[in-house]
């Protein structure tokens, strides 16, 4: 073997050695990159729980004995004796209307009654003398009865040409003023009872929630005027027909006795607890991503890869999300690391 052959052989051996070392280094680098692309995550096994999903709805405070006071007979309002916010007692005179027209109607009815009485007396005597017929006597008798009824009606309307308080309470709103023309039945005052135990919250709910409620269901009420307090209440009335404008069913929640000053129109948020129970799948809040109302997503794993799974949220309770559908009990969902995942990405499960 000559020198040239030896040099060529050594050079080839060195090149092969360098190539093998380079390949091993490349494999190590690729393995390192693969390790980096595996996102570390922690899993939580979904659990099930039997709870009663509350019905949440906003509403307004009102009084159980609220009244819209009006005149039975229309006319010009002559006097108003109270102002808004004023306390009143039962039977107190609140307003009157001008009696000129009403008194004239009473007088007209009185004169008609007097004439009918005279006609009756005269025809009665003639009937006794067989001068008047039975039919004539019956006609005047009917006329007298009609005249009496008309007079009684006029006197009744005259006695109701005023507004009096129906109970002890407070004038919440004065709707009309002196000199305005009030139609029969048109509200002039809006008043509440003075009682402290007759406050209600009126809320509107959807039909699916209405079907889950019963009279006597308990409720928690939060009032914006008292943000740090929760008031207890019970369902006292369930509407049997939806509101024509909103399509919602009205529910009345009677508040339990409290020492707080309340007023009609205060905004409240209610959480009603129905008696019916349901089974929910529970997972931590951290597992839920891309929430939009009742729609959300979670990540599960299979073959060391993340898989995006749609779920439907019922409600939240004690840091847990209660699902109505999407996954079953025992399915493991990603908690830590879910924010960094995409569908199909490799994951590394850590304890």
CA-angle at 118, arms to 116 and 123, nearest 5°: 95
**Cβ-contact 138, 168 below 8 angstroms:** no
Q: What is the DSSP string of 99-140?
A: -HHHHHHHHHHHHHHHHHHHHHHHHHHHHHTT-S-HHHHHHH
Pairing of strands 47-51, 169-174: unpaired
Question: Directed axis angle between helix 134-159 and helix 100-128, to 10°?
Answer: 160
| Burial of residue 216, with CB atoms counted within 10 A of its CB: 0-12 exposed, 13-18 middle, 19 or more buried | exposed
Question: Would you state the pLDDT for residue 143?
Answer: 93
- Predicted pLDDT of residue 194: 63
Question: Which residues belong to CATH 2.40.30.170 in the chain?
Answer: 56-65+195-272
Record the pTM: 0.52
pLDDT < 70 stretches in the chain: 1-36, 194-197, 257-258, 276, 351
Residue 119: the pLDDT is: 92
Both tokens assigned to 274: 């129905």
**Fold of the CATH domain 39-52+277-349:** 2.40.420
Range(s) of the chain covered by CATH 1.10.287.470: 69-189
Query: What does CATH list as the number for 69-189?
Result: 1.10.287.470
Using H for helix, E for strand and C for coil, what is the string for 184-232? CCCEEEEEEECCCCCEEEEEEECHHHHCCCCCCCEEEEEECCEEEEEEE
> Homologous superfamily of 56-65+195-272 in CATH?
Efflux pump adaptor protein, beta barrel domain (2.40.30.170)
| CATH 2.40.420.20 domain residues, the chain | 39-52+277-349
**pLDDT at residue 152, as a whole number:** 93
Amino acid 93: pLDDT: 92
Q: What is the 3-state secondary structure (H, E, C) of 312-341?
A: EEEEEECCEEEEEECCCCCCEEECCCHHHC
Q: Is the dihedral of CA 73, 77, 82, 84 positive or negative?
A: positive
User: Which of these, 282, 291, 292, lies nearest to 339 by C-alpha position?
Assistant: 291
Round to whole Å and give the CA distance between 219 and 334: 35
3-state secondary structure of 40: strand
């Amino acid at each position: 073997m000559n020198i040239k052959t030896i040099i060529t052989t050594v050079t080839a051996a060195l090149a092969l050695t360098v190539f093998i070392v380079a390949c091993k280094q490349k494999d190590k680098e690729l393995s390192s990159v693969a390790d980096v692309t595996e996102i570390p995550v922690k899993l939580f096994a979904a659990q099930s729980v039997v709870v009663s999903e509350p019905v949440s709805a906003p509403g307004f405070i009102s009084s159980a004995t609220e009244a819209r006071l009006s005149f039975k007979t229309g006319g010009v309002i002559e006097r108003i004796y109270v102002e808004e916010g004023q306390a009143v007692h039962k039977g107190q005179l609140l307003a009157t209307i001008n009696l000129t027209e009403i008194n004239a109607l009473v007088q007209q009815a009185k004169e008609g009654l007097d004439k009918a009485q005279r006609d009756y007396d005269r025809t009665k005597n003639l009937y006794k003398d067989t001068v008047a017929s039975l039919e004539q006597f019956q006609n005047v008798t009917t006329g007298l009865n009609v005249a009496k009824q008309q007079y009684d009606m006029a006197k009744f309307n005259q006695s109701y040409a005023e507004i009096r308080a129906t109970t002890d309470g407070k004038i919440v709103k004065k709707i009309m003023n002196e000199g305005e023309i009030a139609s029969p039945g048109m509200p002039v005052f809006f008043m509440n009872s003075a009682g402290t135990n007759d406050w209600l919250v009126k809320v509107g709910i959807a039909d699916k929630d209405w079907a889950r409620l019963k009279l006597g269901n308990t409720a928690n009420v939060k009032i914006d005027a008292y943000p740090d307090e929760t008031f207890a209440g019970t369902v006292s009335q369930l509407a049997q027909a939806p509101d024509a404008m909103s399509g919602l069913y009205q529910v009345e929640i009677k508040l339990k006795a409290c020492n707080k000053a309340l007023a009609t129109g205060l905004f409240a948020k209610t959480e009603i607890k129905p008696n019916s129970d349901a089974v929910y799948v529970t997972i931590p809040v951290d597992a839920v991503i891309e929430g939009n109302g009742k729609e959300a997503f979670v990540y599960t794993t299979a073959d060391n890869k993340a898989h995006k799974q749609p779920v439907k949220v019922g409600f939240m309770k004690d840091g847990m999300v209660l699902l109505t559908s999407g996954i079953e009990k025992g399915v493991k969902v990603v908690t830590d690391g879910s924010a960094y995942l995409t569908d199909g990405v490799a994951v590394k499960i850590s304890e």
